[in-house]
Structure 1
Amino acid sequence: MTRTLEVVNPFDLNVIGSVPLKGWDEIDSYLSTATQLHKNRKGWLPAHHRIEILRKTAVLMQDRFENLAFQIANEGGKPLVDARVEVTRAIDGVGLCIKEIAGLAGKQIPMNLTQAGDGRTAFTQREPIGPVVAVSAFNHPLNLIVHQVAPAIATGCPVLVKPADDTPLSCKAFVDILYEAGLPEEWCCFVPCDIPTAEKLVTDPRVAFFSFIGSAKVGWMLKSKLAPGTRCALEHGGAASVIIDSSADIEAMIPSLVKGGFYHSGQVCVSVQRVMAPKGMADDIAQLLADAASKLCVGNAIDEQTDAGPLIRPHEVDRVSNWVAEAKQAGAKILTGGDKLGATTYAPTVLLRPPLDIKVSRQEIFGPVVCVYEHDTIDDSISQANDLPFAFQASIYSNNLDMAMKAIEQLDATAVMVNDHTAFRVDWMPFAGRKQSGYGIGGIGYTMHDMTQEKMAVIKV
């Protein structure tokens, strides 16, 4: 009997759809086909064919813009205003893949630098790495799929994609659009499945490249079990730090921090979590944040007026509630929020001076909670920011160039934003975590590079 995965709206928990789960026999067949597609070099899709498919894909996505946005909001709980931004990014991401195809070029290697190389000409070219398996997360259910699947199509790699259990409908919609745009179905397989089957797929020796977006616990576990030779990229989360210098434009900063901290109810891997303010300014900054956060409309993401939607599952609401309760008991001051608004929603919350050794200060909250701390010097702020096993994006608000450069030089982060929040991203920039926050570099062009491998020809003349 075929099992199905029911999909619910995370706000009211009403069933909005379902997808059949794939068993191992079916997935094994898909993987065998993918392997043969890669081995049959004469059957590789030419670049102009891949470009044509992706161009048609972008057009079809634009035609279905509102339907895709509503689906993101309905299954993922991201407010419509932000879901529309995600669709725009996803369409642009497909366009980026098209542009990057022309960059999949090799180069000439000089051979006559020593006598041993005389009489030879050498050059490199890039080839598709082979079957790709992509395992995705719920929080950007369309754009993350585009980041994992479209580069595989662009580089000529057959791909099997397992969406997050909570948000498979956006993934299926994208795969179906690829088929409609002309991609032969065997080149991209939609494989929702249970955890044991997914692990069996990921660790199969036929997998050439594994792309994972999700929790560090699961990602590092799967990486440890990969077959010899399988390449991978892992994108996890962190506890993003923001440093505020005394020269910062506070009025301009507050809306930015509110967006970075409460966008998608904080369910973003680089969401603003820890704000380090100068001594004597922390109370005022925290209160300004609290005042702005208290005005956010929390509700069903499919409603136009909603600013902050539900958390993805009720147990996440319970977890966030427990973490905040722990912070309050340990001495943190709750300036706004600190309450469940229902089984599926939590109030946007600002905490002032939580202790540094509790969960909200040391682990990724992944919920609508921002913590504000006070420090004597910027060196103290940088020290706290770097004192975690995670390192992803960080930021500093300052109108002092020396302070901004000091933060850029000393923060342990893959990207440091100046006068912008930590969740800023455009899809052509490198996007990656250090230490426990990830492995490899994301971003459309960087992913396409990882999904290809270099081959050199040396010709003796």
Structure 2
Amino acid sequence: MHFSVKVPGADQAGILEVKSPYSGDVVGTVASVDSAGVEQALNTSFSLYQKRNQWLPAARRAAILERMATLMEQRAEQLIAAAVAEGGKPYRDTQAELMRAIDGVKNCRECLRSESGREVPMQLNAASAGRLAFTHREPIGPVVAISAFNHPLNLIVHQIGPAIAAGCPVIVKPAEKTPLSAFLLVDLLREAGLPEAWCQPLVTENLTVAEALATDSRVAFLSFIGSAEVGWRLRSKLAPGTRCALEHGGAAPVIVADDADLDAMLPLLLKGAFYHAGQVCVSVQRIFAQRPIARDLAERLAHGAGELRVGDPANADTDVGPLIRPEAVERIDAWVNQALEAGADCLTGGKRMSEVLYPPTVLFDPDTASRVSREEIFGPVVCIYPYDTLDEAISRANDTPFAFQAAVMTRDIDTALYAYHHLQASSVMLNDHTAFRVDWMPFAGLKQSGYGVGGIPYTFREMQNEKMLVFHSAALR
């Protein structure tokens, strides 16, 4: 299957070849745009927003989103095939991602019914006598969405779906490794009835042009999902008044007490650590296990990891596919070797399988100064550390520049609540893995892990202004 994409209404600057991360074969091509193409897209979005009498009514937006969900269901295999081909996530996991994305579109539609303004109390004193006040939500303005490669269907839905529901024109720049899914989704939106100008997908010819897109003064809201280095730099360069949400990564910790039900917890840890080859911003990376059970847990986890099938993501029985690029395999291999040289015990994996495949790897007690202990590895590697006291485990779990989702596994309510209270995290999962998520819950990185709150209803609110109207009338006295 081969996909070829042009950018409607814009002159192309070049052609980007999209390659399979597994085979290296070209699976599609996308036309890129230069600064002139970006200027055209920004001008289109800004002009559209300025014409308030041409804003899309809420009923029309709701109908478009409803038809979009239906079209995604009907074209499921095409969307899955494109995402597997360009992103390398195994078929079963991509199928699950698509189901989430469809539900996400429905969630965006539901926001139009469930999210609204509010009454502001008046007539409480002499100054507010004879007054009635309420707020109404309006679209914030042009949105620029810059996305990541690891969930090419669901992340795009999380960025453009709320923008469309909120009534904002949106420009979406998918990751250059996985642009096909985004263009297919936008095609479906247009088939569902969205005028072309309201959602413009594009790929820029270089990072300089992408930065100019994000930092232009006409952008009202920047939605960025990607590396912390790029995200924080873009935020520092945003035009005055531009709001933003940044979603970066972390080194997610799990604390496992010696009373935890390991039979029930092991499948969760395996899934949380090795889903999409660990290329998930809240993937299980650091497990702090109470000393009496630490080695047993590590060995049982290693046994499970060793049974996972690694290979072609298009095969229905593959559990772990390729890394997105060969450079990622080289980096992961270097970090693991550093940990081994510093005394870590490798219980399974630890050696690259090919230029693009790295096996599920379990390291026991790596040095706390190792990169696998302090930085986001973004690969299929999990580390287990013995601990003696809960305070020790919490201190070590918190000792990174990241704070996103964390987990604690225990049958004791006091242990659970103590860990919840003291862990530096935006969400703490009890007896679940750190990568658990449903798309209507808040999803937020703290410290260097991000800025703002994700989750479809929260993004929907962020992409709107709350505007107040105050009535002053003698009839209200």
Mapping for residues 327-338 of structure 1, pairs under 5 Å: 327-338=339-350
Of 258, 261, 266 in structure 2, the residue corresponding to residue 254 of structure 1 is 266
Q: What is the CA distance between 1:300 and its match in structure 2?
A: 1.4
**Pairing 1:297–2:309 present:** yes
Q: Indicate the residue corresponding to 1:44 in structure 2.
A: 55
For residues 301 and 23 of structure 2, the distance between their equivalents in structure 1, rounded to whole angstroms, comes to 28
TM-score, with structure 2 as normaliser:
0.96
Mapping for residues 141-160 of structure 1, pairs under 5 Å: 141-160=152-171
**Pairing 1:92–2:103 present:** yes
Q: Secondary structure of the equivalent of 1:367?
A: coil
**Pairing 1:383–2:383 present:** no
TM-score, with structure 1 as normaliser:
0.99
**Pairing 1:131–2:142 present:** yes
Of 2, 20, 38 in structure 2, the residue corresponding to residue 9 of structure 1 is 20
Q: What is the CA distance between 1:280 and its match in structure 2?
A: 2.4
How much identity, in percent, do the aligned residues show? 55
Q: Which amino acid aligns with 2:180?
A: L
Q: Is the CA contact 1:69–1:87 (under 8 Å) kept in the aligned structure 2?
A: yes
Q: Secondary structure of the equivalent of 1:102?
A: helix
Q: Which amino acid aligns with 2:96?
A: V
- 1:105-127 Cα offsets, whole Å, 9 max, x none, are 21121222221111221111000
Q: Indicate the residue corresponding to 2:283 in structure 1.
A: 271
Of 65, 83, 101 in structure 2, the residue corresponding to residue 72 of structure 1 is 83
Q: Is the CA contact 2:258–2:292 (under 8 Å) kept in the aligned structure 1?
A: no
Q: Secondary structure of the equivalent of 2:127?
A: helix
Q: What is the CA distance between 1:251 and its match in structure 2?
A: 1.0
- 1:53-104 Cα offsets, whole Å, 9 max, x none, are 1111001000011221122111101000100000000000000001011233
Q: Indicate the residue corresponding to 2:415 in structure 1.
A: 403
For residues 126 and 33 of structure 1, the distance between their equivalents in structure 2, rounded to whole angstroms, comes to 23
**Pairing 1:349–2:361 present:** yes
Q: Indicate the residue corresponding to 1:172 in structure 2.
A: 183
Q: Indicate the residue corresponding to 1:26 in structure 2.
A: 37
Superposed CA RMSD = 0.8
Q: Secondary structure of the equivalent of 1:403?
A: helix
Q: What is the CA distance between 1:305 and its match in structure 2?
A: 1.7
Q: Is the CA contact 1:104–1:126 (under 8 Å) kept in the aligned structure 2?
A: no
TM superposition outliers: structure 1 runs of 4+ over 4 Å: none
Q: Which amino acid aligns with 2:76?
A: F
Q: Indicate the residue corresponding to 1:53 in structure 2.
A: 64
For residues 307 and 99 of structure 2, the distance between their equivalents in structure 1, rounded to whole angstroms, comes to 27
Q: Indicate the residue corresponding to 1:313 in structure 2.
A: 325
Q: Indicate the residue corresponding to 2:436 in structure 1.
A: 424
Q: Which amino acid aligns with 1:228?
A: P
Q: Secondary structure of the equivalent of 1:78?
A: coil
Q: What is the CA distance between 1:43 and its match in structure 2?
A: 0.6
For residues 121 and 57 of structure 1, the distance between their equivalents in structure 2, rounded to whole angstroms, comes to 39
Q: What is the CA distance between 1:2 and its match in structure 2?
A: 3.2
- Segments of structure 1 that go 5 or more residues without pairing to the other structure are none
For residues 53 and 199 of structure 1, the distance between their equivalents in structure 2, rounded to whole angstroms, comes to 31
For residues 220 and 114 of structure 2, the distance between their equivalents in structure 1, rounded to whole angstroms, comes to 22
Q: Indicate the residue corresponding to 1:373 in structure 2.
A: 385
Q: Secondary structure of the equivalent of 1:89?
A: helix
Q: Which amino acid aligns with 1:304?
A: A
- Segments of structure 2 that go 5 or more residues without pairing to the other structure are 1-11
